[in-house]
Structure 1
Amino acid sequence: MALRTFEARVGWPVLRERFVGRIPERELVLLDEAVDFAARWHGDQVRPAGEPYVEHLLEVVCVLIEAVETTDIDVLRAAVLHDVVEDTGCALDDVRMRFGDRVAVLVDWVTKPAPTGGQSPAEAWSAYLARLHDAPADALIVKLADRLSNVQRLDSHPRPEKRRSYYQETVRSIVPLAQSHPWFRQWYATWCERFRHLAGDRPAVP
């Protein structure tokens, strides 16, 4: 089976037109606001391969709408905003004041916390991944779509060692989270096979 990938290089206005008919116009306006908010906070940030950061955020939305067929506007807004607290100076309270409690809760679930209580960054990251096992379904699909966007073209990452470690971490910690969702389960199974060459000494499928 071919690996389905998602792109957002065409930008939000073109994507928005694709979503007309799937999402009511009054809710697309709400999504417009989230896209604008995220774009302003992320500014000129870029991904490791050099693409504008906002493309990643929009890819996550594409996965949720076009593959998972999510139309819940709070989930879609949380998808656009999922990195704004972790990777910019925006506070979670800023998200809550602008977009409401539910969106803020979803963003909080997928935001990696800073190390606390003497934790190392690695320990904080492990605790974050473990916590995701208790995430509500709406937060979990945001996380699964987020990681999908990050790894769908993993061979394009400029650092070979990061490709290997990201593959292994995804197989170990993210693929198990996908097992309760049929579409993500199949996508990640296909992805594991597509990138099996990055497995190293670890099995490609848990």
Structure 2
Amino acid sequence: MPRIEAIEIRLHLPLRSPYTFPKRRDMESIQGARSFAIEMHGGQLYGDRPYSFHLDQVAEIASSYGHQAETLAFLHDTVEDTSATLDEVRERFGSFIADCVALLTDQPGENRKERKAKTYAKLAEVNDERQLALIVKAADRLANVRACVADGNERLLSVYRGEHEVFKLAAFRAGLCDELWGELGSLLSLVGPAVPTSGKS
């Protein structure tokens, strides 16, 4: 029986690279990020679910890429959507994670299209170790699209479909997290046409 369980676990792990379980210090960082994010997001909802649902989904996807990716996944919306600051993130989780959170944080804009254009411009310039942010950005978008498909949210799914080409030009790097992009493209190709994203949202 133990041998069978080990085989089953291996079959469910990503083919990209062998999984290594986080060390105690790394696990503490992950747990600390989750606790901090949940505290900061407070009573915010993700649709009709607690916001922790979304954070857990993104972190689960990102966990295949290491403990820093999982830590960043929990923190990716804290500065954009809560009162948390980059200085707080830097003090708690270090400069590298804070720099990645900054990349993932939308700047103010008149509408979604303008905000996302600013974020995509930042992502397009990344060519160093901060590419970790690109993995988490892909994980975030994949989690959102999965939720849209599961909930039948065609309106938001159409928005993501309309943004996909520009988003991919900015955030895709060959060999970085191809599995995520493959699933994302497959899900976005399932149903109808895209809608414009110039309105407020």
TM-score by length of 1: 0.73
**Matching residue of 2:125:** 134
1:162 Cα deviation after fit: 3.0
Match of 1:99 among 82, 93, 98: 93
**Matching residue of 1:40:** 39
1:58 and 2:56 matched: yes
1:189 Cα deviation after fit: 2.8
Distance, in Å, in 1 between the alignment partners of 2:21 and 2:58 is 16
Q: Tell me, which stretches of 5 or more residues in structure 1 are unaligned?
A: 1-19
- 5 Å-filtered alignment, 1:24-173, equals 24-48=23-47, 50-65=48-63, 69-71=64-66, 73-115=67-109, 120-121=110-111, 122-135=113-126, 136-156=130-150, 160-169=154-163, 171-173=164-166
Distance, in Å, in 2 between the alignment partners of 1:36 and 1:201 is 36
**Matching residue of 1:189:** 185
- AA in 1 matched with 2:53: E
Pair 1:30–1:201, CA change in 2 (3 A): closer
TM-score by length of 2: 0.75
Match of 2:167 among 156, 171, 174: 174
- AA in 2 matched with 1:183: E
Count, aligned residues: 171
Distance, in Å, in 2 between the alignment partners of 1:101 and 1:200 is 38
Distance, in Å, in 1 between the alignment partners of 2:90 and 2:192 is 39
